[in-house]
Amino acid sequence: MRLRADSHAQYEIRVYADIMLETVKKWVPITYDAFMDYRVGGTEVSAKGKLIIQKLIKGENVDVNSSGLSKREWNELMIAFDLKDKLI
């Protein structure tokens, strides 16, 4: 559903997904809220990304060169966690 309701999805697919989401919202609102929180509003992180976030939380200095990530992966991770000051 997350992919089908995405703004980049084909229009007809997106309209169908939106109707399905509205049905889910009415039928099982707690499930809908969890879906919106975890799948639509959440972020998936690789194992390397998880280690980097853990190090940042601990206050350790981590940069793209020591991270094991490509520049694209690094920037996606920093954007996902609103760490735009660490973009390269």
Active site residues: 4
Q: Which residues contact 16 (CB under 8 A, 6 or more apart)?
A: 4
**Residue 32's CB: how many other CB atoms inside 10 A?**
16
